[in-house]
A and B are shown apart, each in its own frame.
Chain A
Amino acid sequence: MDRAKIYKNVKDINEEEFVLPGTPLCAGCGGLLALRLAYKVLGQKVVILNAAGCFTLLSTYPYTPFRSSWLYTAMACGPAGAQGIRDALDILIEKGSIPKEENLKVVVLTGDGSAYDIGLQSTSGAIHRNLDFYYICYDNEAFGNTGFQMASSSPYGSRTGTTQPSDAYPMATEQQKKDLFEIWRAHKPPYMATVSPAHPVDLSAKFKKASEYKGPKLFITLAPCPTGWGYGASRSNRIAKLAVECGIWPLKEAIEGKLKHTYIPKFKPVEEYLSLQGRYDHLFKPVRNDFTIKKIQKGIDRYWAPFLKLTSCKR
């Protein structure tokens, strides 16, 4: 378990490691960093239910990076798998078949392709059943494990393997990113939050706070992806921070459905974030696509407008 009672700065973060090095994941994987940080709060008594995605390869027989348990399941059913384990542990402990010291936290680990699309039904089911579990979606905004094709998590204006820019589609991906957070929030789970691997204190505090609630504890973490997003691996955290500062990745939480932003960004122009990534190259080269860039910026402004009003009222 983490030692810190509250997370105020980096020094409060647990030094013990639970996800050990040597995984086959890409160098600079933002999702892996988020998982490592989350684990530092969750501790060792954990079983992970991994839905098919990039993280499938974390445990590749005969290797595992974990000091705790792991079960790999198919893409559609991470939360359903969590249900079976949670229920089995509960009933076995209740019947006295196993001692309660053997209890585990059940954690679903899933990519956005599963979370936003094929696994959404089983997630909705698990939230509805008030399953006591953690759900971590590492969101790299496309089907990353298959080589980066469009998912409903892919942002408007981004390039993926199946939404290449063309004369007819200068913006590349024409749909807006699905608002999974609000879909979840409609279920009113006890705790849910967005996090970023480059905001480790915020991330840790949220996992800590979540642990006070029984029921679904849902997280979407931004997962900067050097290969899919097209940038040098060293820039993962810089890009994650820009996503927050531009307001395109709001850091927020909702307790019993009540929404709160945990950080008000500096609202840098989104261009600063977009221009660092190959997946947005077509918006700048060979000619600048002002229409699409402005539309992305407007989307951000429209998202924040009501909250900023609220904040200024309070002031």
Chain B
Amino acid sequence: MVREMLTGNASAAWGARLADVDYVPSFPITPQTEIIENISSWIRDREMNAKFVTMDSEHSMITAAGTAAATGARVFTATSSQGLLYGMEMLYTISGWRVPLVLVNVARAISSPITLEPDHNDILAARDSGWIQIHVENCQEALDAVLMGYKISEDERVFLPVIVNLDGFYLSFTREPVEIPDQKDVKKFLPPFNRENGYFRASKPVSRGAALLGGTGYSFFKYQMHLSACNAISVYKGVAKEFKAIFGREYDTVERYEMDDAEYVIVMSNSFATKGKAAVHIMREKGHKVGLLKLRLIRPFPADDIINELLNRKGVAIIDQNIAPGSGGILYNEVCGCLYHSKERPNILLSVIGGLGGKDISQAEFEHIIDTIKKYHNKKKVPIKPILLFTEEDMKVTNNIIDIAGI
């Protein structure tokens, strides 16, 4: 085991390297490129025994990843934003093939307007694609989630592909000290992929992905995907336990920060959760009983764990770093949905939209969120419309650029 300063991208690449992957189809897109540059160098320098290929698009890249997995190779690939959307058809197709692999999505807000910094509209557009989704907060978690991803994906109770999501810029280009596990420990944690049955072999032909007409069989196999994805919760927990036993780091489906006696809770995900934790810390120092619940496993949605953490709280704010125009925050709706049947659910569930296009969320804004929840506490009418974190100063800046653009 060594500790090194690594970017989020390099950490993800190390995850693939340690997982001893066989195959890496790629297609460059900012901010993912460092991942594939690292891996291609390692392969060219014989530090990794795998095949690297540059495809002609993300659609082709995801296809090749899926077909190689269907041939029994351990496959790693990575993309971002527009690339994930361009390959979206194949995300659905491959999960239907029921083949294991890991794809890293380096989150970046979606065009148009095209932009460079992250939000989660790209990754959440894939939320119904049948892929397991693990969202990470820091560089260490990025490496570890890739390793855990293979173990979950290759478990026959799951047999669905996994996406690990890490934020562009905030993680992709940011260096932090990262523990790089020893290869022999990783081997213990992640044995070679069992490719006995159902792969393309001269001696054992199979047909995969065949058309299935009439709704009955289709319903059955689609529902099997759902049940397998649901299995991924307990499989995840088992894998996390093994991971802790070998590497000492613990990753539950959700992460609890200052939650024990928290009356007010902020729910959020990914790298901005670090900012959220800092804000909680400061508010705690001021005497506010505030906590933070970080969502790590987004698919399957760990509803039981979320319910357990949010019952009997006075108020909860869900910060969505995404926007579904005409609906609001995507995760807000999911969190509300899972709490409906609990009598002890919080009085207030506040929807907050922030961090779009990588826009910062300041301490003052976090405090404004808590103030807003408190304002509505004990009031009968609570707004269900989302609040956008957008200040007077932001409006001035915006007016200025609109003026320059000319009307």
- Are A and B close enough to touch in the complex, i.e. CB under 8 Å? yes
User: Does B50 have its Cβ within 8 Å of any Cβ on chain A?
Assistant: yes
User: Does A259 have its Cβ within 8 Å of any Cβ on chain B?
Assistant: no
Interface 1/0s, chain B 109-151, versus A by CB < 8 A?
Answer: 0000000000000000000000000000000000000000000
Q: Which residues of B26-69 have CB atoms within 8 Å of chain A's CB atoms?
A: 49-51, 53, 55-57, 59-61, 63-69
Number of interface residues of A (CB under 8 A): 50
Chain A residues within 8 Å of B57, by CB: 80, 121-122, 125
User: Does B213 have its Cβ within 8 Å of any Cβ on chain A?
Assistant: yes
| Contact A92 B93, CB 8 Å, known A71-B209, A81-B63, A121-B57 | no
User: Does B195 have its Cβ within 8 Å of any Cβ on chain A?
Assistant: yes
Pairwise interchain contact B200-A73, C-beta atoms closer than 8 A: no
* Cα A74 to Cα B61 with chains together (Å): 13
Chain B residues within 8 Å of A64, by CB: 207, 210
Pairwise interchain contact A85-B67, C-beta atoms closer than 8 A: yes
Pairwise interchain contact B200-A69, C-beta atoms closer than 8 A: yes
Q: Which among B23, B50, B212, B217 has the greatest number of chain A C-beta atoms within 10 A?
A: B23
User: Does A297 have its Cβ within 8 Å of any Cβ on chain B?
Assistant: no
Closest residue of B by beta carbon distance from A68: B205
* Cα A76 to Cα B22 with chains together (Å): 25
* Cα A45 to Cα B93 with chains together (Å): 25
Closest residue of A by beta carbon distance from B94: A73
Pairwise interchain contact A101-B202, C-beta atoms closer than 8 A: yes
* Cα A269 to Cα B244 with chains together (Å): 78
Pairwise interchain contact A83-B201, C-beta atoms closer than 8 A: no
* Cα A71 to Cα B201 with chains together (Å): 12
User: Does A103 have its Cβ within 8 Å of any Cβ on chain B?
Assistant: yes
User: Does A5 have its Cβ within 8 Å of any Cβ on chain B?
Assistant: no
Pairwise interchain contact B210-A88, C-beta atoms closer than 8 A: no
Residue in B22, B61, B211 whose beta carbon sits within 8 Å of that of A88 in the complex: B22
User: Does B305 have its Cβ within 8 Å of any Cβ on chain A?
Assistant: no
Chain A residues within 8 Å of B206, by CB: 69-70
Q: Which residues of A102-158 have CB atoms within 8 Å of chain B's CB atoms?
A: 102-104, 121-122, 124-126, 128-129
User: Does A98 have its Cβ within 8 Å of any Cβ on chain B?
Assistant: yes
Chain A residues within 8 Å of B195, by CB: 92, 97-98
Pairwise interchain contact B202-A84, C-beta atoms closer than 8 A: no
Chain A residues within 8 Å of B53, by CB: 83, 87, 129
Residue in B49, B97, B207 whose beta carbon sits within 8 Å of that of A95 in the complex: B49
| Contact A91 B56, CB 8 Å, known A71-B200, A84-B68, A104-B200 | no
Pairwise interchain contact B67-A88, C-beta atoms closer than 8 A: yes
| Contact A80 B61, CB 8 Å, known A98-B201, A129-B53 | yes
User: Does B71 have its Cβ within 8 Å of any Cβ on chain A?
Assistant: yes
Residue in A69, A87, A102, A128 whose beta carbon sits within 8 Å of that of B68 in the complex: A87
Pairwise interchain contact A80-B60, C-beta atoms closer than 8 A: yes
Q: Which residues of A178-207 have CB atoms within 8 Å of chain B's CB atoms?
A: none
* Cα A297 to Cα B209 with chains together (Å): 43
Closest residue of B by beta carbon distance from A47: B200
User: Does B208 have its Cβ within 8 Å of any Cβ on chain A?
Assistant: yes
User: Does A174 have its Cβ within 8 Å of any Cβ on chain B?
Assistant: no
Pairwise interchain contact B67-A82, C-beta atoms closer than 8 A: yes
User: Does B290 have its Cβ within 8 Å of any Cβ on chain A?
Assistant: no
Residue in B51, B93, B200, B213 whose beta carbon sits within 8 Å of that of A74 in the complex: B93
| Contact A61 B56, CB 8 Å, known A66-B205, A84-B23 | no
Q: Which residues of B204-240 have CB atoms within 8 Å of chain A's CB atoms?
A: 205-213, 217
Pairwise interchain contact B64-A84, C-beta atoms closer than 8 A: yes
Residue in B50, B51, B72 whose beta carbon sits within 8 Å of that of A98 in the complex: B72
Q: Which among A66, A71, A102 has the greatest number of chain B C-beta atoms within 10 A?
A: A71
Interface 1/0s, chain A 42-64, versus B by CB < 8 A?
Answer: 00110101000000110111111
**Shortest CB distance A221–B (Å):** 22
Chain B residues within 8 Å of A121, by CB: 56-57, 60
Closest residue of B by beta carbon distance from A129: B53
Closest residue of A by beta carbon distance from B20: A95
User: Does A240 have its Cβ within 8 Å of any Cβ on chain B?
Assistant: no
Chain A residues within 8 Å of B50, by CB: 91
Q: Which among A45, A73, A90 has the greatest number of chain B C-beta atoms within 10 A?
A: A73
User: Does A77 have its Cβ within 8 Å of any Cβ on chain B?
Assistant: yes
User: Does A267 have its Cβ within 8 Å of any Cβ on chain B?
Assistant: no
Closest residue of A by beta carbon distance from B66: A84
* Cα A284 to Cα B37 with chains together (Å): 61
Pairwise interchain contact B208-A72, C-beta atoms closer than 8 A: yes
* Cα A160 to Cα B234 with chains together (Å): 54
| Contact A80 B59, CB 8 Å, known A61-B211, A98-B72 | yes
User: Does B90 have its Cβ within 8 Å of any Cβ on chain A?
Assistant: yes
* Cα A277 to Cα B61 with chains together (Å): 41
* Cα A47 to Cα B209 with chains together (Å): 13
Residue in A74, A87, A97, A128 whose beta carbon sits within 8 Å of that of B89 in the complex: A74
**Shortest CB distance B46–A (Å):** 13
Pairwise interchain contact A49-B67, C-beta atoms closer than 8 A: yes
Q: Which among A62, A90, A125 has the greatest number of chain B C-beta atoms within 10 A?
A: A125
User: Does B25 have its Cβ within 8 Å of any Cβ on chain A?
Assistant: yes
User: Does A89 have its Cβ within 8 Å of any Cβ on chain B?
Assistant: yes
User: Does B70 have its Cβ within 8 Å of any Cβ on chain A?
Assistant: yes
**Shortest CB distance A183–B (Å):** 15
| Contact A80 B55, CB 8 Å, known A59-B210, A64-B207, A97-B195 | yes
User: Does B73 have its Cβ within 8 Å of any Cβ on chain A?
Assistant: yes
Chain A residues within 8 Å of B202, by CB: 44-45, 101-104
* Cα A72 to Cα B56 with chains together (Å): 20
Residue in A66, A83, A102, A126 whose beta carbon sits within 8 Å of that of B207 in the complex: A66
| Contact A73 B51, CB 8 Å, known A80-B64, A87-B68 | no
Pick the 9 closest A-B CB pairs, nearest first.
A125-B56, A84-B67, A80-B60, A84-B64, A88-B71, A88-B73, A88-B68, A84-B68, A72-B209
List the interface of chain A (C-beta within 8 A of B).
44-45, 47, 49, 56-57, 59-64, 66-74, 76-77, 79-85, 87-92, 95, 97-98, 101-104, 121-122, 124-126, 128-129
Known: A63-B210, A69-B205. 14 other contacts (CB 8 A): A61-B210, A61-B211, A66-B205, A69-B206, A73-B63, A80-B56, A80-B60, A80-B61, A84-B23, A92-B72, A95-B22, A102-B203, A103-B202, A129-B53
17 A-B pairs, CB-CB below 8 angstroms? Answer: A61-B210, A61-B211, A67-B205, A71-B67, A71-B207, A71-B208, A73-B93, A74-B63, A80-B61, A84-B67, A88-B75, A92-B71, A92-B73, A97-B195, A104-B200, A104-B202, A122-B59
List the interface of chain B (C-beta within 8 A of A).
22-23, 25, 49-51, 53, 55-57, 59-61, 63-73, 75, 89-90, 93, 97, 192, 195, 200-203, 205-213, 217
